[in-house]
Copies of this chain bind each other. A is one copy, B any other.
Amino acid sequence: MTEAVSRPTLEAVAARAGVSRATVSRVVNGGDGVREPLAERVRRAVAELGYVPNQAARSLVTRRHDAVAVVIAEPEARVFADPFFALQLRGISKELTAHDNQLVLLLTEGRADHARVARYLAGGHVDGALVFSLHLDDPLPGLIHEAAVPTVFGGRPGWGDDTRTGDHTDVVYVDCDNRGGAHTAVRHLVDLGRRRIAHLTGALDQTSAVDRLDGYRDVMEDVPGGSDPRLVVESDFTPAGGERAMRELLDRCPDVDAVFAANDLTALGALRVLRASGRRVPEDVAVIGFDDVLPVAEQTDPPLTTVRQDIEEMGRLMARLLLRGLSGGRDRAGAPADPPPAGGVILPTALIRRASA
């Protein structure tokens, strides 16, 4: 398992190069203000000794860590069945890496973990946090607010309007246009001539689910008979939930001719139940999902028509916004950058037509 060995310090490099520690420090950190012959000598010493700066020592004085926490709060199941988080993580990882920041992953599974996360964030171990998957009753935002850590949320927080955590004018989040995307999807079904269009919702304690439901209703209120409450069945973003909801829907409304599922996983479950019931997709019932998670949407039978959102880009953007905020509105060269946006950034969605609708 290999024991760790002691590494050379700034001091050692300075001695080797015959300069002061300060000079070495300057060279190591970008090297402006050190004349060439000297700088080169230092660089060589660094290389020869294999010097790597001690981050702890550096953080102690700079109060920066070049590390960002990613907090994923999901009760058990979903995080790992859904490629969604993995994709966002990848986007985040890429962006952070590009800016020499480390990704500290904080997985939480319930109340017990909240305190731990709060303590960690408050402990000033990281420069900022990226927080996901908030549910409406989640205590995390409050804790984070207290911890006073720069934070960007993934998905519109549901508590933006209430007063639970005080002033929220400075909340930054990234989300996709859930309502608009849902609108487009349902509109598409209408244009296809469908009239009994149902919606299998996501977990309604998350804003994404609520917004998609709203988008569905936006369209349906103009459809004759479209306000039939039986057409909306609550589900939870999982394939199993999708199956359950679809079964119930078939029970309530055997005449359904289209289904807008809150995400691809839900659509997957619905597809299975539809097939089992002997209905053809899309001939008898058209199905549209949401997310366009490729491993799912491209592989269903038939391939899924769905609302695409650029998940990886969302992650990347979250990281970018956080880092921008951290650098105090200047980029690395010190040039003024765009100011951090107030409130949220909404990414566009697009309807991807495959075979299911």
Which A positions have Cβ atoms within 8 angstroms of B?
1-5, 7, 50, 52-57, 59-60, 65, 67, 70, 79-81, 83, 85-87, 89-90, 93, 97, 102-107, 113, 116, 119-120, 122-125, 127-128, 145, 148-152, 170, 172, 239, 272, 295, 299, 301, 322, 325, 340
Would B81 and A295 count as touching, CB distance under 8 A? Answer: yes
Would B56 and A1 count as touching, CB distance under 8 A? Answer: no
Residue of B50, B79, B151 near A2 (CB, 8 A) is B151
- Specify which of A103, A105, A116, A151 lies most central, judged by the most chain B CB atoms within 10 Å of its CB: A105
Q: With A56-B56, A97-B107, A103-B104 given, can you name 8 additional A-B contacts, CB distance below 8 Å?
A: A3-B148, A4-B127, A4-B148, A5-B148, A79-B86, A81-B83, A102-B120, A103-B106
Would B65 and A90 count as touching, CB distance under 8 A? Answer: no
Residue of B107, B301, B340 near A1 (CB, 8 A) is B340
Chain B residues contacting A2 (CB-CB under 8 Å) are 145, 148-151, 170
Residue of B3, B52, B299 near A123 (CB, 8 A) is B52
Q: How far is the CA of A188 from the CA of B301 in the complex (A)?
A: 30
Residue of B80, B86, B103, B340 near A90 (CB, 8 A) is B80
Chain B residues contacting A170 (CB-CB under 8 Å) are 1-2
Q: How far is the CA of A181 from the CA of B49 in the complex (A)?
A: 47
Who on chain B is nearest to A171 by CB? B1
Q: How far is the CA of A7 from the CA of B295 in the complex (A)?
A: 46
If A56-B60, A119-B52 touch, whether A124 touches B7 (CB-CB below 8 Å) is: yes
Who on chain B is nearest to A268 by CB? B299
A335 → chain B, closest Cβ, in Å?
20
Would B80 and A80 count as touching, CB distance under 8 A? Answer: no
25 inter-chain pairs at a CB distance below 8 angstroms, sorted by A residue, are A1-B340, A2-B145, A2-B148, A2-B170, A3-B148, A3-B150, A4-B148, A4-B150, A7-B122, A52-B119, A53-B123, A54-B60, A54-B124, A67-B104, A70-B105, A80-B83, A80-B86, A85-B86, A93-B107, A102-B104, A103-B106, A104-B104, A104-B105, A105-B105, A272-B301
Chain B residues contacting A106 (CB-CB under 8 Å) are 102-103
Would A55 and B123 count as touching, CB distance under 8 A? Answer: yes
Chain B residues contacting A7 (CB-CB under 8 Å) are 122-124
Who on chain B is nearest to A7 by CB? B124
Q: How far is the CA of A52 from the CA of B121 in the complex (A)?
A: 10
Chain B residues contacting A54 (CB-CB under 8 Å) are 60, 123-124
Would B1 and A172 count as touching, CB distance under 8 A? Answer: yes
A117 → chain B, closest Cβ, in Å?
10
Chain B residues contacting A272 (CB-CB under 8 Å) are 299, 301
Q: How far is the CA of A53 from the CA of B92 in the complex (A)?
A: 28
Would A151 and B56 count as touching, CB distance under 8 A? Answer: no
Chain B residues contacting A89 (CB-CB under 8 Å) are 105, 107
Chain B residues contacting A90 (CB-CB under 8 Å) are 79-80, 107
Would B1 and A151 count as touching, CB distance under 8 A? Answer: yes
Chain B residues contacting A107 (CB-CB under 8 Å) are 89-90, 93, 97, 103
Q: How far is the CA of A55 from the CA of B80 in the complex (A)?
A: 31
